Structure 1
Amino acid sequence: MQLLARRGSGHADAAPHATHLGDFQLRPRVLLITALALVVGALSAVVAYALLQLIGLITNLVFYQRVATEMIAPSAAPHPWWLVLFAPVAGGLVIGLMARYGSEKIRGHGMPEAIEAILTGGSRVAPRVAVLKPVSSAISIGTGGPFGAEGPIIMTGGAVGSITAQLLALTADERKTLLVAGAASGMAATFNAPLAAILLAVELLLFEWRPRSFIPVAAAVVVGTICRGFLLGTGPVFDMPALSAPGPLADSLALVPGITGGLLAIAVTALVYKSEDAFARLPIHWMWWPALGGLIIGIGGLIEPRALGVGYDVIEQLLAGEATMSLIVGILVVKTTIWALSLGSGTSGGVLAPVFMIGAALGAAEGGLLPEVSPGFWAMCGLAAVVGGVMRSPLTGIVFTMELTHAWNGLVPMIVASVSAYAVSALLLKRSVLTEKIARRRVHLTREYTTDPLETFFVHEVMAEHPLVLHGDEPVRAVLPQVREANLYPVADRAGQLIGVTTHRALVSCHGGIVSDATTAARGVVHPDDTLREVVNVLATHDITRTVVVDRTDPTRVVGVVTLAHLLHARRQDLHEEHHRERVLTVRPEPPSAPKEPALAWITADH
């Protein structure tokens, strides 16, 4: 993310035109994309609802042999062992066939695929993915897969936004905005968590925080949340007993599930990709991998039936403080194992619901050793911690937990748990479960939010002042000894007014003529009060590596030349501020004969 950070208020006031907020220059476009995002938000909410209904339908058909769409756990009633074992295998086989003969893009848990579409695909999602992804995910979860619906909803909602954009004449950035609007509104409609959905969009999908994208995404999320109220109700997804104020001790002890949650996040991420590597070494086509993953799921279901399916009922039981120790251990061991191993098989399913369950189980297990606060409090801390550690999105982990439970009294310990888990994960693990998959496809991804150093310097601070200005009527033979290769030279008339630019090569090609014969129009001139970021935009737009700096009030008067090399000054300063250590304040004893003065002296290092 690039944040505007101008140095020197005088410059900003003197050059309001130089403030690089292109969103305001594109206000009609922002309003248009926002209007489209409202439609996308409503459509994505309906798609999210339809996906949940489809999951319920397949679950009922497979495990209860009835036609119904209510969300029900596969373990709500006992089943024959062969059904528990082979239903996930059959589901995996169908998914493998759909991926091979439909679209390989349906493989995986949805978020990396959405990120990759944004980074490398121009935010284009094929229409068939919009159909095949939710169907394959519903089959995977409905046949017992231990996955969540949120990843497929992100991909499907994103597909709705992308397809809408592809039907219109929009830019790639505008397609990205609508893709993310669809993904975030689908999330909001699923979990009734609008703020968490917006944060998820910013932390994971947008790669920027600018009005042109933030406003449409927020608008879509609001619409998706309103639609959810009509379709699924407005209450919290997980009801918790009233949470009393935790107090300073509980706030501090939230470090325990935070740190252990970060370590668990590292272990889970490693297990997912070890599994993926193991499947890649199998001497069979990847089409069969989801069926093998289904076999792992079936074996796990025989050991702990409640590990199957989305598991919202188990999460609610954990957060209510009603889970038995056998269930807690079963979720931590069986759910974690079958989820990570089967996800590595390339089947279709999401990560958030399993992460919710695993995190809540970790917190519930530690709650027996920690002071009692309120039922489900420590499970809530574990949930926030593992989301922050696995997703590497601490703000999303905090807000998600709050919005899922409406237990707002627990905000401070959730901050402690989620941020400490994020710290452990970030310090010990190079990439998250989401970005590792993208990195393996040789796509570099950074999620660090920082100031753009090109925004902190103006042209007049780095340009070459008083450049050699040639006169158009001078003989080329006379000026050639003064010029060097790889430089740009302004050309002016005898009145000193700029008429164009020339180079050493151009002059050599007109050796027998005058300078004006080797002169071309100056492309993309800049001004002393432009930022270096604006210079980069000009150079890129005109496909040049250097340009002339002219006075803004008199565009015919040359004041300097700026080149790509000058732009490195901003990067050098950024590196200097990051790595150079200096003592700005020091404590020194008073001179014996001096009057009594404060011991602290302000000393500015002179470098």
Structure 2
Amino acid sequence: MTSPTDDSRNHADVRVQGSTDALPLSPALGVTLDAAKMPRRSTLVDRRVLHITAVSVVLGIGAAVIAKILTMLIGLITNLAFYGQASTAFSSPADAVPHLGWWVVPIPVVGGVIVGFMARWGSRAIRGHGIPEAMEQVLLNESKIPPRITFLKPISSAIAIGTGGPFGAEGPIIATGGALGSFVGQVMKVTGSERKVLLAAGAAAGMSAIFSAPIAAVVLAVELLLFELRPRSLIPVALACVAATGTRYVLMGTEPVFAMPVLASPGGWALATYVLIGAVVGLISVWTTKIVYAIEDWFEELPIHWMWWPAIGGLVVGVVGYFAPLTLGVGYSNIENILNGRLTLTGLAFLCVMKFVSWSVSLGSGTSGGTLAPLFTIGGALGAVAGIGVAAVAPHFGMDPRIAALVGMAAIFAGASRALLTAVVFAFETTAQPAGLLPLLGGCTAAYLISALMMRNTIMTEKIARRGVRVPAEYAADYLDQVVVGDACARDVVTLQIAQTLAEVRRWLGEGSPDAQHQGFPVVDEQGRVHGVLTRRSLLDPQWHYTLTLGELVTRPPIAVNEGHSLREAADHMVAEGVGRLVVVSKDDPRKLVGILTRGDILAAHGRRLREARHSARHLRFRDGLRPRPEEAVASRH
């Protein structure tokens, strides 16, 4: 470190944080680094997390109760619409088709009209399956979902599903749980980040309560709602899911949602075939996503108000339901039958096609519904068809069509949503079949790979991406949190002595030395301890008499950072204090100046990371005998 009295001076761009401009003159020799503004040390959790966790547990219990009420409401509407009786017991609309005949067609139309009216005069946010809308609120609106969605979404979904809509109850309850968490977060005094955690906790708890899949629900929250993996968000969400699942055990029992007999572990050839089936289903999931949004675009071109679109979708649902009754309603029994091999090859193919037609048109019309159960039905049927075909052609492979159905069910969701881990864990938790884990991992990863190669956005993100919302697709450890300040700061700093007078410093500034051209200078004592920072403007201000010492001009402590802090902590400190430079002090002696950290130093650290990545990519291309891309060639010259 140097001062203006040194023979050799180093060039460092030092800007001040703590200017004395427009401050009343007061002796400040006693201002030391003991009063410096240092960044708070980041911790994994704090007492605030305990508070958010307690609220999340209550949310989890509430979401489970709402899930039970929603299933009862769906049962009530189904029985009223198809059987003319008041009962909350679950019943399938398919059983009513033989005695209703063509009268089954107008029932979904009436449901669509009601949903359209609710969307028009209640809230447009009830349209669709809910998860994209929740993602949009997380990314753009500090996780603030309108409170009316908390009751409008489940009611509209119950009407749509109860009148034959080909959806599951999981999408609406996930959206409702998220809306409930957001509402609680808006009533309480919480930050935007904490409100996001409450939203994710409510949504994940809803999925846990419907499917008894708490681990998959936690992973779903991480992959689609939280966009992070931190203890302060993971702990509340996980305990909310535990609370919701425990409440479900009390209200609905502990049996797996899709019970299956014990399966045998697959051999090598069978495992390879399951992975191939996953890849094929992944390809189909890409086209499924494209077709759904193409149908949605087609509805946008209709010359009638969007309020009537769900009625048109309901008409298709009714016609398809007349010819294929199993496509009506939630269809959880269809999934269980597919996974247990109870449907013939012809029945599987017919159900797969008709369910896709009914669901895609209905969802594209903007009615209130979900995507998980329909995708599981379609993917499970595809997997089962493939498994039966391979078992017939190559019986020595040892294929089990039931495992193939399980892989297809999970792979189509992994490909369409790119929630890979959610798909794998969900299929395991809902069936409790450990022998299916390895085929699931292989098949879902293959589907994920195909989807990532062929499709930028997913069935969850395409809608909001069209509105200009950029959704994070990759999660990585914060690079700034891995670099310490001591490795990035400038250590050769031009300093001023606390005992120097203004006359000396002004004379030095007037000499035109390169070191004197900076906009600010740390002020230190004889032991190298920093007392503050003075701007060039303050040093040249004529209101200060030339006989004053620099120690008398320092009126506020410096904004500092320890050399052991991370660049993330330093960057956050800069933003919080509204400065672009930080004084860096020794971790052994917190009063000793060791350097200056600027915004440019932080960008330079990012530059090193980018150069390393480009160098690695360029090395691989040269190794493979490929020419470097133009941008890589430019980077290499710099």
List alignment gaps of at least 5 residues for structure 1.
1-16, 585-606
One-letter amino acid matched to 2:261: P
2:197 and 2:237 in contact (8 A); partners too: yes
Identify the match of residue 410 of structure 1 among 431, 436, 443.
436
Partner of 2:415: 389
Q: 1:74 and 2:93 equivalent?
A: yes
Residues 1:384 and 1:487: Cα distance change in structure 2 (over 3 Å): farther
Deviations 1:241-269 (A, max 9, x none): 32112122211111222111111110111
Secondary structure of the corresponding residue to residue 269 of structure 1: helix
Partner of 2:485: 459
One-letter amino acid matched to 2:156: S
Structure ID, larger Rg: 2
One-letter amino acid matched to 2:493: P
Deviations 1:165-223 (A, max 9, x none): 33322222222212211111111110011111111111111111111111111111111
Q: 1:429 and 2:429 equivalent?
A: no
CA displacement at 1:79 relative to structure 2: 4.6
Residues 1:509 and 1:94: Cα distance change in structure 2 (over 3 Å): farther
RMSD: 2.4
Identify the match of residue 44 of structure 2 among 23, 33, 37.
23
Q: 1:115 and 2:112 equivalent?
A: no
CA displacement at 1:519 relative to structure 2: 5.7
Identify the match of residue 489 of structure 1 among 510, 521, 524.
521
1:18 and 1:531 in contact (8 A); partners too: no
Residues 1:298 and 1:452: Cα distance change in structure 2 (over 3 Å): same
Q: Which aligned pairs between 1:322-361 and structure 2 lie closer than 5 A?
A: 322-361=342-381
1:522 and 1:548 in contact (8 A); partners too: no
Hey, what's the Cα distance between the residues in 2 that align with 1:418 and 1:234? 27
- Identical counterparts, % of pairs: 45
Partner of 1:247: 267
Q: Which aligned pairs between 1:18-417 and structure 2 lie closer than 5 A?
A: 21-24=42-45, 26=46, 28-77=47-96, 78-371=98-391, 373-374=399-400, 376-417=402-443
Residues 1:83 and 1:461: Cα distance change in structure 2 (over 3 Å): same
1:488 and 1:547 in contact (8 A); partners too: no
Hey, what's the Cα distance between the residues in 1 that align with 2:419 and 2:519? 47
List alignment gaps of at least 5 residues for structure 2.
1-37, 392-397, 621-637
1:307 and 1:330 in contact (8 A); partners too: no
2:264 and 2:435 in contact (8 A); partners too: yes
Q: Which aligned pairs between 1:436-455 and structure 2 lie closer than 5 A?
A: 436-455=462-481
Q: Which aligned pairs between 1:572-583 and structure 2 lie closer than 5 A?
A: 572-581=607-616
Secondary structure of the corresponding residue to residue 489 of structure 1: strand
Partner of 2:502: 474
Secondary structure of the corresponding residue to residue 105 of structure 2: helix
Please, what TM-score do these two structures have when normalized by structure 2? 0.84
One-letter amino acid matched to 1:358: I
1:114 and 1:154 in contact (8 A); partners too: no
CA displacement at 1:553 relative to structure 2: 4.1
Hey, what's the Cα distance between the residues in 1 that align with 2:456 and 2:615? 25
1:501 and 1:520 in contact (8 A); partners too: no
Partner of 1:548: 583
2:508 and 2:516 in contact (8 A); partners too: no
CA displacement at 1:445 relative to structure 2: 1.2
Deviations 1:52-86 (A, max 9, x none): 11111111111111111122221123253443222
Secondary structure of the corresponding residue to residue 561 of structure 2: coil
CA displacement at 1:491 relative to structure 2: 2.5
2:137 and 2:145 in contact (8 A); partners too: yes
Hey, what's the Cα distance between the residues in 2 that align with 1:554 and 1:241? 67
1:510 and 1:518 in contact (8 A); partners too: no
Hey, what's the Cα distance between the residues in 1 that align with 2:109 and 2:310? 8
One-letter amino acid matched to 2:460: L
Please, what TM-score do these two structures have when normalized by structure 1? 0.88
1:184 and 1:198 in contact (8 A); partners too: yes
Secondary structure of the corresponding residue to residue 502 of structure 1: strand
2:39 and 2:573 in contact (8 A); partners too: no
Hey, what's the Cα distance between the residues in 1 that align with 2:228 and 2:374? 28
CA displacement at 1:554 relative to structure 2: 3.7
One-letter amino acid matched to 1:176: K
Hey, what's the Cα distance between the residues in 2 that align with 1:85 and 1:486? 79
Residues 1:486 and 1:400: Cα distance change in structure 2 (over 3 Å): farther
Hey, what's the Cα distance between the residues in 1 that align with 2:224 and 2:516? 48
Of 241-250 and 381-390, deviating more is 241-250
Residues 1:219 and 1:504: Cα distance change in structure 2 (over 3 Å): same
Residues 1:419 and 1:307: Cα distance change in structure 2 (over 3 Å): same
One-letter amino acid matched to 1:474: L
Q: What is the count of residue pairs matched by the alignment?
A: 567
1:18 and 1:529 in contact (8 A); partners too: no
Deviations 1:554-586 (A, max 9, x none): 4443211111111122322222332213879xx
CA displacement at 1:489 relative to structure 2: 2.3
One-letter amino acid matched to 2:430: L
CA displacement at 1:45 relative to structure 2: 0.3
One-letter amino acid matched to 1:432: T
Secondary structure of the corresponding residue to residue 123 of structure 1: coil
Partner of 2:28: none
1:23 and 1:30 in contact (8 A); partners too: no
Residues 1:436 and 1:479: Cα distance change in structure 2 (over 3 Å): farther
Hey, what's the Cα distance between the residues in 1 that align with 2:248 and 2:461? 30
1:45 and 1:186 in contact (8 A); partners too: yes
One-letter amino acid matched to 1:166: Q
1:244 and 1:373 in contact (8 A); partners too: no
Residues 1:478 and 1:285: Cα distance change in structure 2 (over 3 Å): farther
